[in-house]
């Protein structure tokens, strides 16, 4: 696979990867101000950020079966990750440095209150790379696939100036995917966590991570406090099986409504580069 040369020919890359869009931005883009130090630490001297948006299957996201959605999520993250790593290897072979940056986990969870902050804010990066804009849901709404994407990418020293997608001064809200007169994503949120361009992260997190870290620590607390009889019950509980599955698969989401409900995503489906 030759992604690097294809990147310079939009049509070719659209044919090679109909379920993916790529964008490139400068690491000096003002939108990336809050992660500039992280980027410099990851790859000193990296001048460009390649952003990859891999599309979910709309049918899977609209399925009534949670496991199907989790499976699709794993695939979509992997797709963004695989392409990032492949591109890095090609760039290395061309004599330049490139580092793939995690799309989600692993993430630095050490500092107090820092638990869920990505090294690179992929939504902002997506806007900087011209892939779309921030929608009312707070998600990156891509021109190609709406918000039903997983974002990833890489930092590189490879000279990508010609690939920078966004023209200087371009209106970041100026694409056809307008959220104006639409609030479907806000109305669809079962946790009531979404307001226009704002999110109650705790409400959302409690809902989507029903069997995530917080549930796991509660599980341990209950286990440690229990007598022998209760301990046996806890160890046979459905909660432990659910947690075990999540540890095994690496996917522990339980909600995709703001991604699945967006008419932008449904309208566009998976029809190529869409730009
Ligand atoms: C922490 C996190 C969460 C937290 C907090 C979310 C949040 N709003 O920050 C929780 C657990 C709640 C969460 C929920 C979800 N998440 Co999440 N999450 C992340 C993660 C790991 C880090 C985000 C981060 O650093 N936040 C901290 C700070 C910087 O965010 P903030 O203070 O809210 O700042 C944002 C806004 O201010 C916004 N903004 C506001 N106004 C404007 C205006 C302009 C012009 C611009 C450019 C930006 C902007 O910019 C900032 C984003 O960079 C990212 C992966 C990553 N590395 O980016 C995924 C990520 C954002 N999540 C994602 C998804 C899909 C989800 C969920 C749908 C759950 C699911 N099933 O996967 C929900 C959606 C909730 C929602 N509607 O926002 C995707 C988003 C894809 C997309 N289309 O945008 C990401 C990018 C993961 C990925 N690699 O694909 N998530």
The domain of 220 spans: 210-249
Establish if 72 belongs to a structural domain: yes
Distances 108 to 55, 57, 103, 115, 245 between C-alpha atoms, Å:
26, 29, 13, 7, 23
CA-angle at 264, arms to 29 and 257, nearest 5°:
95
Q: Which atom of ligand 1 is nearest to the CA of 204?
A: 12
- Same-domain check for residues 121 and 217: no
Alpha carbon distance 47, 98 (integer Å) = 10
Is residue 145 within 6 Å of ligand 1 at its C-beta? Answer: no
Establish if 38 belongs to a structural domain: yes
- Same-domain check for residues 183 and 230: no
Among 25, 68, 124, 189, the mutation site with the greatest number of ligand 1 atoms within 8 A of its Cβ is 124
- Same-domain check for residues 226 and 261: no
Q: What is the pLDDT of residues 196-251, one digit of tens each?
A: 999 999 999 999 999 999 899 999 999 999 999 999 999 999 999 999 999 999 99
CA 234 to chain centre: 34
Q: Report the percentage of the chain scoring pLDDT > 70.
A: 90
- Same-domain check for residues 87 and 33: yes
Is residue 81 within 6 Å of ligand 1 at its C-beta? Answer: no
- Same-domain check for residues 96 and 230: no
Which residue did the predictor score with more confidence, 273 or 5?
5
- Same-domain check for residues 65 and 161: yes
Determine contact, residues 142/126, Cβ cutoff 8 Å.
Answer: yes
pLDDT recorded at residue 174: 46
Taking each helix axis from N to C end, the angle separating 238-249 and 228-235, rounded to the nearest 10 degrees, works out to 50
Tell me the mean pLDDT in the region 3-27. 92
Taking only Cα atoms into account, the Rg of the chain, rounded to an integer number of angstroms, comes to: 20
Determine contact, residues 179/138, Cβ cutoff 8 Å.
Answer: no
Among 153, 204, 261, the mutation site with the greatest number of ligand 1 atoms within 8 A of its Cβ is 204
- Same-domain check for residues 118 and 9: yes
Instruction: Count the Cβ atoms, other than its own, within 10 Å of residue 214.
Output: 13
Among 138, 143, 255, the mutation site with the greatest number of ligand 1 atoms within 8 A of its Cβ is 138
Q: Where does the pLDDT of residue 162 fall: very low under 50, low under 70, confident under 90, or very high at 90 and above?
A: confident
Q: What is the pLDDT of residues 92-150, one digit of tens each?
A: 999 999 999 999 998 888 666 655 789 999 999 999 999 999 999 999 999 999 999 99
Alpha carbon distance 214, 88 (integer Å) = 35
- Same-domain check for residues 58 and 96: yes
Does the structure show a pLDDT above 70 at 167?
no
pLDDT recorded at residue 222: 97
Establish if 107 belongs to a structural domain: yes
Q: What DSSP letter does each residue of 134-177 carry, written as one string?
A: E-TTSSEEETTTBT-EEEEEEEE-S--GGGB-SPTT--TT-SS-
- Same-domain check for residues 22 and 152: yes
Establish if 148 belongs to a structural domain: yes
- Same-domain check for residues 158 and 223: no
Burial class (CB in 10 A: 0-12, 13-18, 19+), 229: exposed
Establish if 273 belongs to a structural domain: no
Does the structure show a pLDDT above 90 at 265?
no
pLDDT recorded at residue 144: 93
The 3-state DSSP class for residue 275 equals coil
Does the structure show a pLDDT above 50 at 176?
no
Distances 146 to 137, 167, 263 between C-alpha atoms, Å:
11, 21, 8
Is residue 6 within 6 Å of ligand 1 at its C-beta? Answer: no
Q: Would you put residue 29 in left (φ > 0), alpha (ψ -120 to 50) or beta? A: beta
Count how many domains the chain has.
2
- Same-domain check for residues 152 and 228: no
Q: What share of the chain is helix, strand, coil (3-state, %, to 5)?
A: 45, 15, 40
Spatial CA neighbour of 175 closest among 49, 4, 21, 34: 21
- Walk across the sheet containing 48-55 and list its strands: 20-26, 48-55, 149-156, 98-101
Establish if 99 belongs to a structural domain: yes
Q: Where does the pLDDT of residue 274 fall: very low under 50, low under 70, confident under 90, or very high at 90 and above?
A: very low
Establish if 237 belongs to a structural domain: yes
Establish if 65 belongs to a structural domain: yes
Distance from Cα 100 to the centre of ligand 1, integer Å: 19
The 3-state DSSP class for residue 104 equals coil
- Same-domain check for residues 242 and 260: no
Spatial CA neighbour of 79 closest among 52, 97, 60: 52
């Amino acid at each position: 696979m030759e992604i690097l040369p294809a990147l310079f020919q939009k049509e070719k890359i659209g044919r090679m990867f109909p379920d993916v869009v790529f964008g490139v931005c400068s690491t000096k883009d003002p939108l990336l101000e809050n992660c500039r130090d992280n980027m410099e630490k990851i790859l000193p001297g990296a001048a460009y950020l390649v952003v990859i948006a891999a599309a979910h299957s709309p049918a899977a996201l609209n399925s009534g079966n949670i496991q199907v959605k989790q499976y699709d999520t794993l695939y979509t993250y992997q797709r963004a990750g695989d392409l990032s790593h492949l591109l890095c290897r090609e760039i290395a072979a061309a004599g330049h440095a490139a580092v793939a940056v995690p799309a989600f986990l692993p993430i630095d969870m050490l500092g107090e209150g820092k638990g869920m902050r990505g090294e690179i804010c992929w939504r902002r990066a997506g806007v900087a790379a011209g892939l779309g804009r921030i929608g009312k849901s707070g998600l990156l709404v891509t021109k190609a696939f709406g918000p039903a994407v997983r974002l990833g990418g890489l930092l590189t020293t490879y000279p990508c100036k010609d690939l920078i997608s966004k023209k200087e001064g371009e209106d970041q809200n100026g694409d056809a995917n307008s959220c104006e007169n639409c609030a479907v994503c806000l109305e669809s949120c079962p946790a009531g966590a979404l307001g226009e361009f704002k999110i109650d992260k705790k409400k959302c997190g409690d809902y989507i991570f029903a069997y995530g870290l917080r549930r796991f620590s509660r599980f341990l607390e209950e286990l440690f406090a229990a007598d022998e009889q209760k301990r046996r019950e806890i160890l046979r509980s459905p909660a432990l099986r659910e947690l075990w599955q999540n540890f095994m698969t690496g996917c522990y989401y339980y909600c995709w409504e703001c991604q699945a409900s967006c008419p932008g995503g449904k309208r566009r489906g998976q029809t190529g580069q869409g730009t």
